Amino acid sequence: MIKEFPFDLPDTPYSLWVSGELNDHLPLPEDFRAEIVNGEITVSPAPVVGHNRIVYAIHFAFTEARVLNRQYPWIVDTGSGTDLVGVGDGYIPDLIVLDSQICAEAEAAQVALWVADQVELAVEVTSKSNAAQDRKARPGGRQTKWSGYARAEVPYYLLVDRDPKVARTTLYSVPDAATGAYLQEEVWEFGKPVVLPEHFGVTIPTDNWRPWGAGSDRADGR
Protein backbone atom coordinates (compact mmCIF):
# COMPACT_ATOMS: atom_id res chain seq x y z
CA MET A 1 0.00 0.00 0.00
CA ILE A 2 1.11 3.56 -0.62
CA LYS A 3 1.39 5.57 2.56
CA GLU A 4 1.44 9.34 3.02
CA PHE A 5 2.96 10.67 6.24
CA PRO A 6 1.92 14.05 7.68
CA PHE A 7 5.42 15.37 8.34
CA ASP A 8 8.51 16.50 6.48
CA LEU A 9 11.48 14.26 5.88
CA PRO A 10 15.06 15.60 6.03
CA ASP A 11 15.83 14.20 2.56
CA THR A 12 14.08 12.42 -0.29
CA PRO A 13 12.48 9.07 0.59
CA TYR A 14 14.83 7.34 -1.84
CA SER A 15 17.99 8.87 -0.34
CA LEU A 16 16.87 7.96 3.17
CA TRP A 17 16.04 4.42 2.05
CA VAL A 18 19.47 3.95 0.46
CA SER A 19 21.21 5.23 3.59
CA GLY A 20 19.15 2.91 5.80
CA GLU A 21 17.60 5.84 7.69
CA LEU A 22 14.07 5.89 6.28
CA ASN A 23 12.50 3.61 8.89
CA ASP A 24 13.88 5.87 11.64
CA HIS A 25 11.52 8.60 10.41
CA LEU A 26 8.43 6.42 9.92
CA PRO A 27 6.00 5.41 12.68
CA LEU A 28 5.69 1.85 11.39
CA PRO A 29 5.00 -1.37 13.30
CA GLU A 30 8.06 -3.57 13.58
CA ASP A 31 6.71 -6.18 11.16
CA PHE A 32 6.12 -3.69 8.32
CA ARG A 33 8.70 -2.87 5.66
CA ALA A 34 9.11 0.25 3.58
CA GLU A 35 10.10 0.44 -0.09
CA ILE A 36 10.30 3.22 -2.65
CA VAL A 37 8.15 2.59 -5.72
CA ASN A 38 7.83 5.31 -8.36
CA GLY A 39 9.66 7.62 -5.95
CA GLU A 40 7.00 7.20 -3.25
CA ILE A 41 7.05 5.39 0.08
CA THR A 42 5.09 2.16 0.11
CA VAL A 43 4.68 -0.02 3.17
CA SER A 44 3.54 -3.60 3.51
CA PRO A 45 3.00 -6.06 6.36
CA ALA A 46 5.10 -9.15 6.94
CA PRO A 47 4.33 -12.03 4.53
CA VAL A 48 2.02 -14.87 5.55
CA VAL A 49 2.49 -18.62 5.25
CA GLY A 50 1.09 -19.17 1.74
CA HIS A 51 3.25 -16.37 0.35
CA ASN A 52 6.38 -17.62 2.09
CA ARG A 53 5.90 -21.22 0.97
CA ILE A 54 5.97 -20.11 -2.67
CA VAL A 55 9.15 -18.11 -2.09
CA TYR A 56 10.66 -21.13 -0.39
CA ALA A 57 9.74 -23.42 -3.33
CA ILE A 58 11.60 -21.12 -5.73
CA HIS A 59 14.53 -20.87 -3.33
CA PHE A 60 14.65 -24.66 -2.97
CA ALA A 61 14.70 -25.23 -6.75
CA PHE A 62 17.83 -23.08 -7.10
CA THR A 63 19.45 -24.51 -3.97
CA GLU A 64 18.85 -28.07 -5.19
CA ALA A 65 20.47 -27.24 -8.53
CA ARG A 66 23.49 -25.86 -6.67
CA VAL A 67 23.77 -28.97 -4.48
CA LEU A 68 23.61 -31.29 -7.49
CA ASN A 69 26.15 -29.30 -9.49
CA ARG A 70 29.11 -27.81 -7.64
CA GLN A 71 29.82 -25.62 -10.66
CA TYR A 72 26.30 -24.18 -10.71
CA PRO A 73 26.77 -20.41 -11.20
CA TRP A 74 23.63 -19.01 -9.56
CA ILE A 75 22.85 -18.17 -5.94
CA VAL A 76 19.70 -16.80 -4.32
CA ASP A 77 19.10 -14.08 -1.75
CA THR A 78 15.93 -13.25 0.14
CA GLY A 79 15.13 -10.17 2.19
CA SER A 80 17.93 -7.88 0.98
CA GLY A 81 17.24 -4.49 -0.57
CA THR A 82 17.92 -3.69 -4.22
CA ASP A 83 18.87 -0.15 -5.15
CA LEU A 84 17.62 0.82 -8.61
CA VAL A 85 20.32 3.39 -9.24
CA GLY A 86 19.25 5.87 -11.91
CA VAL A 87 15.58 5.06 -11.38
CA GLY A 88 15.31 6.46 -7.86
CA ASP A 89 13.50 3.43 -6.44
CA GLY A 90 14.46 0.93 -3.76
CA TYR A 91 12.81 -2.48 -3.50
CA ILE A 92 13.02 -5.48 -1.21
CA PRO A 93 12.26 -8.32 -3.63
CA ASP A 94 10.86 -11.56 -2.30
CA LEU A 95 13.85 -13.29 -3.90
CA ILE A 96 16.67 -12.44 -6.28
CA VAL A 97 19.06 -14.61 -8.27
CA LEU A 98 22.66 -13.50 -8.74
CA ASP A 99 25.85 -14.84 -10.26
CA SER A 100 27.81 -16.53 -7.45
CA GLN A 101 31.01 -14.65 -8.29
CA ILE A 102 29.20 -11.30 -8.16
CA CYS A 103 27.71 -12.35 -4.83
CA ALA A 104 31.11 -13.28 -3.40
CA GLU A 105 32.65 -9.98 -4.49
CA ALA A 106 29.78 -8.02 -2.97
CA GLU A 107 30.07 -9.90 0.31
CA ALA A 108 33.82 -9.22 0.41
CA ALA A 109 33.10 -5.52 -0.11
CA GLN A 110 30.46 -5.65 2.65
CA VAL A 111 27.82 -3.92 0.56
CA ALA A 112 24.53 -3.07 2.29
CA LEU A 113 22.33 -3.22 -0.81
CA TRP A 114 22.39 -4.95 -4.15
CA VAL A 115 22.25 -2.76 -7.24
CA ALA A 116 20.09 -3.64 -10.20
CA ASP A 117 22.90 -4.54 -12.58
CA GLN A 118 24.01 -7.30 -10.18
CA VAL A 119 20.59 -8.98 -10.34
CA GLU A 120 19.85 -11.56 -13.02
CA LEU A 121 16.31 -12.44 -11.87
CA ALA A 122 13.97 -10.63 -9.48
CA VAL A 123 10.98 -12.44 -7.99
CA GLU A 124 7.85 -10.90 -6.51
CA VAL A 125 4.88 -12.82 -5.08
CA THR A 126 1.72 -10.74 -4.95
CA SER A 127 -0.34 -10.10 -1.84
CA LYS A 128 -3.83 -8.68 -1.55
CA SER A 129 -2.57 -5.50 0.11
CA ASN A 130 -0.13 -4.47 -2.64
CA ALA A 131 -0.56 -6.66 -5.74
CA ALA A 132 -1.03 -3.69 -8.07
CA GLN A 133 2.47 -2.36 -7.41
CA ASP A 134 4.04 -5.67 -8.55
CA ARG A 135 2.09 -6.06 -11.79
CA LYS A 136 2.55 -4.68 -15.28
CA ALA A 137 1.99 -0.93 -15.36
CA ARG A 138 -1.06 0.27 -17.23
CA PRO A 139 -0.44 2.72 -20.11
CA GLY A 140 -0.49 6.21 -18.66
CA GLY A 141 -0.89 4.85 -15.14
CA ARG A 142 1.26 4.78 -12.05
CA GLN A 143 4.67 3.16 -12.52
CA THR A 144 5.09 -0.17 -10.74
CA LYS A 145 7.88 -2.54 -9.75
CA TRP A 146 7.42 -4.17 -13.16
CA SER A 147 8.29 -0.92 -14.90
CA GLY A 148 11.01 -0.09 -12.36
CA TYR A 149 12.79 -3.39 -12.91
CA ALA A 150 12.53 -2.86 -16.67
CA ARG A 151 13.88 0.70 -16.46
CA ALA A 152 16.81 -0.61 -14.39
CA GLU A 153 17.32 -3.36 -17.01
CA VAL A 154 17.01 -6.33 -14.68
CA PRO A 155 17.11 -9.13 -17.29
CA TYR A 156 14.30 -11.27 -15.86
CA TYR A 157 11.32 -10.55 -13.62
CA LEU A 158 9.29 -13.49 -12.28
CA LEU A 159 5.86 -12.48 -10.98
CA VAL A 160 3.81 -15.01 -9.03
CA ASP A 161 0.28 -13.59 -8.89
CA ARG A 162 -1.73 -15.18 -6.06
CA ASP A 163 -4.94 -13.32 -6.85
CA PRO A 164 -7.68 -16.00 -7.06
CA LYS A 165 -8.88 -14.36 -10.29
CA VAL A 166 -5.41 -14.79 -11.81
CA ALA A 167 -3.42 -17.60 -10.10
CA ARG A 168 -0.53 -17.68 -12.54
CA THR A 169 3.19 -17.09 -12.84
CA THR A 170 4.67 -14.82 -15.51
CA LEU A 171 8.30 -14.54 -16.54
CA TYR A 172 9.07 -11.16 -18.08
CA SER A 173 12.23 -10.67 -20.14
CA VAL A 174 13.92 -8.30 -22.62
CA PRO A 175 13.67 -5.07 -20.58
CA ASP A 176 13.44 -1.78 -22.44
CA ALA A 177 14.87 0.97 -20.24
CA ALA A 178 13.55 3.78 -22.43
CA THR A 179 9.90 2.76 -22.10
CA GLY A 180 10.08 1.00 -18.73
CA ALA A 181 8.57 -2.17 -20.13
CA TYR A 182 9.41 -5.82 -20.64
CA LEU A 183 8.97 -6.85 -24.26
CA GLN A 184 8.51 -10.59 -23.79
CA GLU A 185 6.57 -12.75 -21.35
CA GLU A 186 5.80 -16.40 -20.71
CA VAL A 187 2.91 -17.56 -18.53
CA TRP A 188 2.15 -20.69 -16.47
CA GLU A 189 -1.10 -21.37 -14.62
CA PHE A 190 -0.79 -22.62 -11.03
CA GLY A 191 -0.25 -26.36 -11.13
CA LYS A 192 1.95 -26.21 -14.23
CA PRO A 193 5.75 -26.40 -13.76
CA VAL A 194 7.58 -23.11 -14.31
CA VAL A 195 10.46 -23.75 -16.71
CA LEU A 196 13.03 -20.99 -16.47
CA PRO A 197 15.44 -20.14 -19.32
CA GLU A 198 18.07 -22.74 -20.10
CA HIS A 199 20.99 -20.92 -18.48
CA PHE A 200 19.26 -21.19 -15.09
CA GLY A 201 18.66 -24.93 -15.53
CA VAL A 202 15.72 -24.85 -13.13
CA THR A 203 12.14 -26.11 -13.29
CA ILE A 204 9.88 -25.11 -10.40
CA PRO A 205 6.87 -27.32 -9.53
CA THR A 206 3.76 -25.37 -8.56
CA ASP A 207 1.35 -28.18 -7.66
CA ASN A 208 1.01 -26.92 -4.08
CA TRP A 209 0.76 -23.21 -4.86
CA ARG A 210 -2.53 -21.63 -3.78
CA PRO A 211 -4.14 -18.21 -4.25
CA TRP A 212 -4.44 -15.96 -1.24
CA GLY A 213 -7.31 -16.81 1.09
CA ALA A 214 -6.98 -20.54 0.36
CA GLY A 215 -6.35 -22.99 3.19
CA SER A 216 -4.77 -21.45 6.28
CA ASP A 217 -3.53 -18.33 4.50
CA ARG A 218 -5.01 -14.99 5.50
CA ALA A 219 -6.64 -12.95 2.76
CA ASP A 220 -5.74 -9.59 4.28
CA GLY A 221 -1.99 -9.89 4.68
CA ARG A 222 1.01 -10.44 2.46
> What tens digit of pLDDT does each residue of 139-158 get?
888 899 999 999 999 999 99
What is residue 183's three-state secondary structure? strand
Name the pLDDT band for 219 (thresholds 50, 70, 90): very low
Instruction: Write down the pTM of the prediction.
Output: 0.93
pLDDT at 126 over 70: yes
Torsion of Cα atoms, 165 then 171 then 173 then 179, to 10°: 20
Contact present, 53 and 208 (Cβ < 8 Å): yes
pLDDT average, residue stretch 201-216:
87
Average pLDDT rounded to a whole number, residues 73-86: 96
Residue 31: pLDDT band by 50, 70, 90 thresholds? confident
pLDDT attached to residue 25:
87
User: What integer is the mean pLDDT of 97-126?
Assistant: 96
Q: Please answer whether residues 183 and 134 qualify as being in contact, where contact means their C-beta atoms are separated by less than 8 angstroms.
A: no
Please give the sequence-ordered ranges of beta strands (E in DSSP) within the chain, or none if there are none. Answer: 32-37, 40-45, 74-77, 82-84, 89-91, 95-99, 114-115, 119-125, 156-161, 168-176, 181-189, 194-195, 203-204
- Please, which pLDDT band fits residue 220 given cuts at 50, 70 and 90? very low
Share of the chain above pLDDT 70, in %: 93
Mean per-residue pLDDT of the chain = 92
Q: How far apart are CA 183 and CA 120, in angstroms?
A: 16
Q: Which amino acid would we find at residue 173?
A: S
Residue 191 CA to residue 212 CA, distance in Å, equals 15
Amino acid in the structure at residue 17: W
